[in-house]
Amino acid sequence: MNDAGYNFGPVFQKHLEVETRSGVRQARSRLSLTPPEEEYRQSCYPMHPVNIDGCLQTVSLALFRGNRSDVDAVLIPAIIDSIVIIPTALPETGIAVTSSKYEGSGRPEASKNYMSDVSVYDPSTKGLLFEVKGIHYHKLDVIDLQHTNDSYCEMTWKPDITYLTQEKFLNLSPEQPDGYSKSRISARKYANQLIDMIAHKKTGLKVMEVNITSDDQTSIWLDEDDCDVASRAAYKEYYFLATHATVLMKVQEKYAGQGNTKFSVVDITRPPAELSLGTEVYDLIIAKMVSLSARV
């Protein structure tokens, strides 16, 4: 919104969470209904004007179809058909349900030719707190729009890993070349498919990879072969541990250019309390070891 030229100050930034889908002019938001702090005593409002403004801001999700790249103009409310405010004790947060539809005149691809509705509910009682019908817009000319950053959005579908049962896990079958038998699919391909599903489900992962082999000098997480690079690119932190110094040096030399990475040697023969693993909590831990069959 700042890139488009809206420039909402801290007091008017009421959005806490948003839920939207690319290409759909319907959305939901969780927003703060706490009135702003003031040094002097405020007037008594059924709903504070700052909160009303926050409720009106939620329509942008539906107005721009849930796409950051569709925010092509600064639109301000020009006409409102009706407003309903329910005088009641306000909760700290509210759930806003918004939608937009074509007015019937002008170019359908122009966002300013749509009108919006928003209803705000108490998340505990499900009761209506605030409702606005028929918000029509004017386009505001904003200087320096040519300096805004380009933003792009892509919708990608993957299976939800939270519904992956043990039976389904055993039936995972990575893509393979023609004539390549399932029995010859490497464990690495299965691991990458599973890791990609985790990375797609939760971005900003903190990842630890532990390698106790002496000959594998690669990183499963950072290696760009046979994996969904886009899903993994949003990781927050990566920590690589190796039991062999040679492996660590080779891996660090290969992947040190990646952002937010750490590398260390660990002696797994020492008691767990003496291992210097830090106090961080990791979302995903990848353990790579020599298979038992390789030793037989």
pLDDT digits (tens, 9 = 90+) for 205-222: 999 999 888 888 888 898
Confidence band, pLDDT 50/70/90 cuts, at residue 99: very high
Which of 99, 119, 147 corresponds to the end of one domain?
147
Most confident of 93-97, 136-140, 286-290: 93-97
CB 263 within 8 A of CB 250: no
Which structural domain range is residue 288 located in?
161-295
Which amino acid appears at position 215 of this protein? D
Assigned domain for 68 exists: yes
294 has a pLDDT exceeding 80: no
From CA 112, how far away is CA 107, in angstroms rounded? 9
pLDDT of res. 157 = 80
Of the candidates 116, 135, 111, the one whose C-alpha atom is nearest the C-alpha of residue 27 is 116
Same domain, 111 and 166: no
Of the candidates 132, 118, 62, 120, the one whose C-alpha atom is nearest the C-alpha of residue 92 is 120
Q: What percent of the chain has pLDDT over 90?
A: 22
pLDDT of res. 177 = 45
pLDDT of res. 274 = 63
What is the Cα Rg of the chain in Å?
26
Strands 26-32 and 15-20: antiparallel
Which of 147, 181, 211 corresponds to the end of one domain?
147
Same domain, 64 and 108: yes
The pLDDT mean for the chain works out to: 82
Q: Average of pLDDT values for 165-182?
A: 62
Of the candidates 23, 104, 32, the one whose C-alpha atom is nearest the C-alpha of residue 66 is 23
Sheet with 237-242, side-by-side order of all strands: 261-265, 237-242, 206-211, 284-288
Strands 237-242 and 261-265: parallel
Same domain, 200 and 287: yes
Same domain, 76 and 197: no
Same domain, 138 and 207: no
Confidence band, pLDDT 50/70/90 cuts, at residue 228: confident
Q: Average of pLDDT values for 190-196?
A: 86
Distance of CA 105 to the CA centre of its chain: 35
Same domain, 99 and 198: no
Q: Average of pLDDT values for 95-106?
A: 91
Confidence band, pLDDT 50/70/90 cuts, at residue 122: very high
Assigned domain for 25 exists: yes
Structural domains in the chain (count): 2
| Phi and psi, residue 206, nearest 5° | -100, 120
Assigned domain for 2 exists: no
Same domain, 143 and 66: yes
If you search the block for the tokens 């999700």, which residue do you land on?
61
Confidence band, pLDDT 50/70/90 cuts, at residue 273: low
Alpha helices in the chain (DSSP H): 49-57, 59-63, 166-170, 187-201, 229-232, 245-255, 292-295
Assigned domain for 152 exists: no
81-90, 91-100, 179-188, 269-278: the lowest-pLDDT one: 179-188
Q: What percent of the chain has pLDDT over 70?
A: 85
